[in-house]
Every structure is written in structure tokens, then in C-alpha cells.
Structure 1
């Protein structure tokens, strides 16, 4: 740099004059650098602004060339309808995505037919009224569907003002699915005043806490079944018995699905109602602690088309099985709130189930089951082996290995020749003793010429982490038998044994 070249060639200290010169030159350079940085920032800002402007100008051009524009509105309609089928799904924010989505949504009234009472946000009466008015207008002539979803955020007063609010929108509107409770049920299900709303109805839920039998009796007297000829699904929620014959469902001949929830209705009353519905294919019964009286004069309750059934209570109906007939039942779930035990004079649970449902293929018993309840005392009396293919149980205080041995062979006879899957629910763990016991069982069966795994193809249970390595050899041995698989959930992960290898 001119003026300081001679200073760079010396190692001596600078004189005051030379130091002043050097500091002045350095200050000038700092000013130039600062000015250059400022100019660069201004250039970058102009670049960013210009780039953003060009992107905004390009965005509508990209939209015009998008393949989505070539999709007909019917495709979006099917997508929206597919998402809207889920009752728990959130609303589609079509208005927040693009104008075309909103236009498409407004074009198809069937997208506005699902009314869900109770959302993730607490709504006031005024807000609910506005939403109902919008749905009633946009749905036009399409049948509506009313769903109740109770959430913690709901206002406790909601149950008081909502029925009155719904009355304003129920009449003169067609309905596909309806929840009727309290006074709304009595007002809505009136063939004389609301025939147009009822003729398209397919699913009906009646929630009447106290006066259900009298309410249903009144409906039957008014021949409500003829006023709703297309109803195939019915849900009843009641807390009282059915004391009169008018409380039955004999005239509801088209029902294919029925759900009954009651705190005091007996098993006998529930099954009598089920047998009223000649076309019933699916049933869900949740009863109370009431014990069935011993029937003295009762005909066989036949459910000729019932294929799927779920039963939930705290007591097992010991006396009813001999009066039940479900000739085509394929799936059964029995949930009891107390452990299932069997007295000496009672029929084992598994035996009466198979006796009442000879075609049963899938059985789930989530509650605790005593081993004796799974006995088939009259196994030789069965005309043919049970066709059971899947069984899920929770044995109390017994090893899954023990239950596995019990259910596969009794008295050297294969109980379920078609059983493909056996699952042990609710933390059924296996110990080292169980593994050794299973190994002895395999050896004894092999020496006797018996099939090691019997008919089973898949078993699901839990194995302690320490036992996993010790049990792998035995499970691998089992897997050699006709493609037999063992699924072992370990710390939340599924471990599958197949052909001696982990899969």
C-alpha cells in the first residue's frame, strides 16, 4: 500500500506520525467494507423481493397446468365422501385450501348430510343453531345422518337445549340415520306428523333412559315399523325392563343389526327381543347384573340368520343356552366383568357355546376364564367336530402353555381340527417351567406318533425377555409342523417364528 511500504520492511515501533497514518488508512477501509455490506444487503433484498414477485406470478400459471384441474368434480366428490364416512374424522377445511375445493363441496349436497353432535370444540346453542341451518340448507333434499359423539368439552346444558333445537330441523327433512332421545324421540317418530322424514330412514338409535318399554309399546301400537320400512339397523339404550308384549320387536322384520344396552334388562328379555327379528345378522347385547330366572315354560329362541354377536355383562347366563339356537353364527365375543367360573352342576362355558352355535368359527373371551369352563365334557356327543378356527381367551393364573395343551388334545382326541389361531390376551406370560413342560409334551407326542402342533397354525402369547432365547428353539421346533407359526409380542414388538428363523 503506497505510503506505508517502507514501514512494512522494518521491525521497529511506529512513530506517532506513522501510527496516525496507519490508523487513518484502516478506518477508511472499514468504511468501504461497511458500505459494501450495505450495498450487498440492498441487492439481496431486491433479489428476494423480485424472486417472490416472480413466484407469485408463476403460481397461477402452475395451477393452470396442474393435472388436478383435469380431474372432474365427481372424483373430488368421491374423495370427500370417502373421508366423511369416518364418524371420528375431523371436518375437511375445504374453504381454507382453494376456491375450487369450496366450489366442489358446495356443488354436491350429499357432502353436507352428516351431522355430528358433540365436536372437539364446545359450541353454544347459537353456534349450533347456525351450523344446523347451514347443513339443512346445503344438504337440500338428501337424507341426513345424525351422530352423537360425547366429548369432555361439551357443555353440561347441551343435553337440555339440543333436543329442542333439533326439533326445528327434523321435520320436513329426509333422514338416513337418526338418534332420537327423550322428547325428541316421541316427537320425531310420529308417522302422522313426520312421514317424509321417516320413509328414507335406514338406521335408528333410540336413547330413552327411563320410559323405554312404554315408549316402544306406544310405537308398536302406532305401527311405527310400517312408517320406517327401510330401517335395517336399530340401537336401543334403556335402563328398565320390558314388562309388556308391546315392548317386543316382532313387527320389525327387516332389521339386520340390533344393539341393546340396559342396566337391568335380563338376558332372557334381550334374547327374546333378538329372536323377534327374523332377518337379524348382527347383534350387540350389553346387560346388567341381574341374574336370569330359571325358565319354566319357554320355547326355543331361534335366530336363523345371526352371524355376528357380542355379549357383555358381569354374569354368564347359565340357564339360557339350552333354549338358544343360532344355526349360522360365525363370530362371537363374550365380555364379562367378573372372572368366569363354573360350578359342578353347571354346563362348561365352551360346551354350551358350541351347543348353541354349531357353526361358530371365531370366539373371543376377553374376561378371565376358569380352565374348567373350557372343558368339553360331552365331546363324544357332538355329531361332528366344532368348526372353530380362531380362539382368543384370558386364562387366570394358568400358563398359556397349559391352556395350549388343554385345548389342543383332551383324552388323546383333537378338540378343534380346524383351529388355526389361538391367542392369549392381557399379559399372559410364559415361564421357564412352561417352556420345559412344552418340550416334554412335544417329545411325548412325537414318540406316540401324534402331530406336534395338532391343527394349530398360529399362537399369540407373551414371553418374558429372559425366556425369549430359551424358548426360541422350542418355538422353532413347533414351526416345523405343517407351517405352524408362533407370534410372540415382546415389549410391544411382534416376533414371528417361521422355518427356524425370525421374520
Structure 2
């Protein structure tokens, strides 16, 4: 047998599919007949071809008739446009599909400018900037006077490409309501700034991300050059507060986060003086800091015997994720938060900040929800933590996630279940919701102990909401009993 390989051996794996495919041999002697086909067979072949063509035509006619009587064809163009608008807002690429479905849909898409108001340069474009420019010009033309959603990823493009894109966008930036800028460095950010003089009057949402490090000596730049009276949402990723060094009277949400691709322990330093200026000149409702700390080098009030306390009348939500306790305490010392309803904190074992909240509860009269992550419930810190909770009887919801040792332990639940006869008073007497996440020791029986002890007791609320997420040792028996006692039980 010849051992040499041939092309027929390629893509002929024995274990792929139900069996080997038999290839028809064109020289098979059983099928080779040099004589011309008889006329009756030729007629049959012609009839078969005609019938096949007729079948294709009938199938097309059937599809056409079905399309004519389809319910979607009776939907008014205004409603279809609204459906298209919602779809494109969730998936921008949907517009290309809409244009290909039918002539009617394409006419609707062309007649409604808002569908063309999305301009996105992402990594999928690669180096095909000329193609992107052509598409962007079409969208700018067809969007007419509609407000624009603009997303620019300038990581893979050089400065010349960034300049070309921004020069084309410049006359239209006055109608941009949402701007996302992902810059590889400050020179690219400056390029955006140079062409963004028209940006501001319609801007409502601003996201700015830059790949900087603590060794980056470039001077930060503020892309926004004029007041933004409608700006209500800002997210800065790895960017300093100088990036929004403008008036933001309508600001409602401020997010300061580390770059999502950063995997080191590095935290971002934010000037507390600049933060105070931003917060006190806006009506903020939500503040989120992730992987950051506050720098007080340029603020004098922090070192006074009686520091000035600023009121943030509308702030109702605070999130400090991987932020040191000292920075959290400084924030809480500086601001009075009469509308604060919930605070979420991941600060490690140091809970000095919650002691601060407990000592001055009058600055947080609306506080109802406390969410803690990575706290050590097994150490000596549990005692001051429980004492602090005694000073916050108004709390109605408590969340405990990912304790630093992996477990919460039975002691905390014993205190929650302890009646005034043994503990002096109920801990968190208004508590209605208890949520646990990534707690390795939760079996459900400790929760059953708390629920049962508080159920129907005087001067204490019933537990009416339980959520257990990634708690894999929960007993099915305990869960069944909890379900009968608690109004809402969720196991995720």
C-alpha cells in the first residue's frame, strides 16, 4: 500500500460525523454513457427544471402574501419608529439590520433622524478609519438636528486620526447629549479638547477614561471648556477631578473609578479640595468612589479645630469600594447628609468610619441601608461594630458581603436574636431586610434563629426580606422553614 499522502486525506477525520462521505467518481463506468440522451428524457429534464422554477416562484409568492398580511405591516410608522428607536438605543448595530429587512423599514429609518444619532468608534473598527469616517458623515447628515450620542475609543488610533475625527465632529458637538471618550494618553485627550469648543450646551452624560499611571508626568486636561447646564452624570475612569473643571449645577451622579483593566493594588488619589468644590456647587444624589483615596495637601479646613461642615441636601446614596477608612471618615466629617438613605463600604477591617456615623447620627437622619463588604467578623473589631449598630436603630436593611475570613460566625447572629432581657435592648429594632453574599459558613439555621426570635416580639420589626447570594452551604430544610416565615426569600 502506498504510504504517501494525497489531498483526499485532508479533512477526513474518522471520528468527525456519522461516517465518511462517499465522493462521487466522475469516471464511474456505471454512469458513463457517451450516447446522447433520448428525446423523452430531455423533455422530462426540461419539465423538471420548469417545475423547480415554478416551485421557487410559488414559494416567493407565498412569502410575499404572508408579508402582506403580517401584523407588523399594520403597525403605524410612528410606532415602528419608536420600536426601532428603543432597539437601536440598546444595540446600535441594529440599524444596519433594519435597513435590510424591507423597503418600508428602510424608508422609515431614513425618515427618522433620531435613529442616525449614534456615532460609535470602538475597537472593532481597528485601523479602518476611512470607512468609519464615511459612516460617520452619513450619520451626521441623516441625524439632522437630533441630539448625538458619541463614543470614541482612541486607544488604537494615532494623533492624526484623532484630529481627523474631531475636526469632522466639531461643528456638531453642540448637539451632543452623551459623550464617551477612551483616551490612551493625555496628548490624545488634548486633541479632543482642541476640537471640543462647541461641546456643552446639550451635554447630559460624560464618561472619560484614560490610561495613566502614577508616573505619568503629563499635565491633565479638562475636555469640557464651557459650562454644561444639563450635565447630570459623570464617570471618570483613572482620570483626576481636573477633567471636569467646569460649572456643573445639574450634576446628580458622580463616579470616580480606577481603570477597568488595572489589576494592581494601586489606588487613585483625588484632591479633596476639588471634590468639595464640585459637590457643594451641584445637587448631587449619588456618589461612588472605587479604588481611590482623598488627598488633603491643599485644603486648610481639614486641619482646623472646628472644621467647616457642608450640607449636601440631596445626596441619598454613597458607595466607597476599596477606599481606606480615613478617607471615608474625612468625607463624613466634612458633609452633613440629611437625605442619605444608603451607604455601601468596602474598607477592610478598619471600621473607624462607622463609629463616626454612630457618634453623630443627627448628620444622617435618613440613613436606612448599610451595606458592608470584606469586614472581619471573627476579630476584636466585632465588638465596636455591634456597639456602633446600637447607635443606629433607624436602619431597616443590612447587607454583609464577602467577609475577610470567609465566615461571619455565630456570635453576630446571636446578638441579632438576643432579646432585651439578655442584651439590654434589641440590636437594630427596625431591621426588616438581611442580605448575605459569599459567606461560606451560612447554613440558614442562624438566620432562622434571628427570624424566629424577632417574629411577633414587642418593640422589634419582623424580618420580611432575606437574600442569600453565593452562600453554598444553606440547608434546604432551613430554607423551607424560612420561606414559610419570611415574606420574601431569594436564593441566588
Q: Considering the TM-score relative to the shorter chain, is it more than 0.5?
A: yes
Quote the residue 2:14 is aligned against: none
Quote the residue 1:257 is aligned against: 253
Superposed counterparts of 1:400-415, under 5 Å: 402-407=411-416, 411-415=423-427
- Verify the 8 A CA contact 1:281 1:308 in the aligned structure 2: yes
Q: 1:407 to 1:37 in 2, by over 3 A?
A: farther
Q: 1:423 to 1:300 in 2, by over 3 A?
A: same
Q: SS where residue 250 of structure 2 aligns?
A: coil
Unaligned runs of 5+ residues in structure 2 are 1-39, 184-188, 259-266
Superposed counterparts of 1:92-491, under 5 Å: 92-118=96-122, 120=124, 122-148=126-152, 157-158=156-157, 160-173=159-172, 174-179=175-180, 182-190=189-197, 194=198, 197-207=199-209, 215-216=221-222, 224-225=226-227, 228-237=228-237, 239=239, 251-261=247-257, 263-266=267-270, 268-269=272-273, 271-288=275-292, 295-297=302-304, 298-316=307-325, 317=327, 319-320=329-330, 321-336=332-347, 339-342=348-351, 348=355, 351=358, 357-370=364-377, 372=381, 375-377=385-387, 385-389=393-397, 391-397=399-405, 398-399=407-408, 402-407=411-416, 411-430=423-442, 435=445, 445=453, 454-460=462-468, 464=472, 468-469=475-476, 472=477, 474-481=478-485, 483-489=486-492
Matches of 1:146 and 1:231 in 2, distance apart?
A: 15
Q: 1:292 to 1:41 in 2, by over 3 A?
A: farther
Quote the residue 2:262 is aligned against: none
Tell me which of 73, 88, 103 is aligned to 1:84. Answer: 88
Matches of 1:162 and 1:352 in 2, distance apart?
A: 56
Deviates more, 1:172-181 or 1:99-108: 172-181
Matches of 1:401 and 1:40 in 2, distance apart?
A: 87
Q: 1:280 to 1:408 in 2, by over 3 A?
A: farther
Matches of 1:287 and 1:403 in 2, distance apart?
A: 28
1:144-199 per-position Cα deviation (integer Å, ceiling 9, x unaligned): 11124x6xxxx953264443132222222121122456123422443xxx3xx532
Q: SS where residue 168 of structure 1 aligns?
A: helix
Matches of 1:101 and 1:205 in 2, distance apart?
A: 33
**Cα shift at 1:69:** 2.6
- Verify the 8 A CA contact 1:311 1:333 in the aligned structure 2: yes
- Verify the 8 A CA contact 1:414 1:454 in the aligned structure 2: no
Matches of 1:147 and 1:327 in 2, distance apart?
A: 37
Matches of 2:168 and 2:417 in 1, distance apart?
A: 59
**Cα shift at 1:72:** 1.8
Matches of 1:418 and 1:446 in 2, distance apart?
A: 10
Q: 1:451 to 1:77 in 2, by over 3 A?
A: same
Q: 1:48 to 1:357 in 2, by over 3 A?
A: farther
Quote the residue 2:21 is aligned against: none
Q: SS where residue 414 of structure 1 aligns?
A: coil
- Verify the 8 A CA contact 2:204 2:232 in the aligned structure 1: yes
Matches of 2:398 and 2:41 in 1, distance apart?
A: 75
**Cα shift at 1:267:** 7.2
Matches of 1:441 and 1:388 in 2, distance apart?
A: 15
Q: 1:104 to 1:54 in 2, by over 3 A?
A: same
1:88-144 per-position Cα deviation (integer Å, ceiling 9, x unaligned): 875551233222222211111110111122154535121221121121111112121
Q: 1:413 to 1:487 in 2, by over 3 A?
A: farther
Q: 1:231 to 1:448 in 2, by over 3 A?
A: closer
Matches of 1:62 and 1:164 in 2, distance apart?
A: 50
Matches of 1:324 and 1:115 in 2, distance apart?
A: 40
Matches of 2:135 and 2:219 in 1, distance apart?
A: 34
Quote the residue 2:34 is aligned against: none
Matches of 1:247 and 1:198 in 2, distance apart?
A: 12
Answer with 1 or 2: which has the greater Rg.
1
Matches of 1:447 and 1:64 in 2, distance apart?
A: 62
- Verify the 8 A CA contact 1:213 1:247 in the aligned structure 2: no
Q: SS where residue 319 of structure 2 aligns?
A: strand
Matches of 2:48 and 2:411 in 1, distance apart?
A: 76
Q: SS where residue 145 of structure 1 aligns?
A: strand
Q: 1:329 to 1:446 in 2, by over 3 A?
A: closer
Matches of 1:364 and 1:92 in 2, distance apart?
A: 44
Matches of 1:133 and 1:448 in 2, distance apart?
A: 68
Matches of 2:387 and 2:342 in 1, distance apart?
A: 23
Quote the residue 1:59 is aligned against: 63
Matches of 1:124 and 1:446 in 2, distance apart?
A: 65
- Verify the 8 A CA contact 1:400 1:428 in the aligned structure 2: no
Q: 1:284 to 1:178 in 2, by over 3 A?
A: same
- Verify the 8 A CA contact 1:369 1:395 in the aligned structure 2: yes
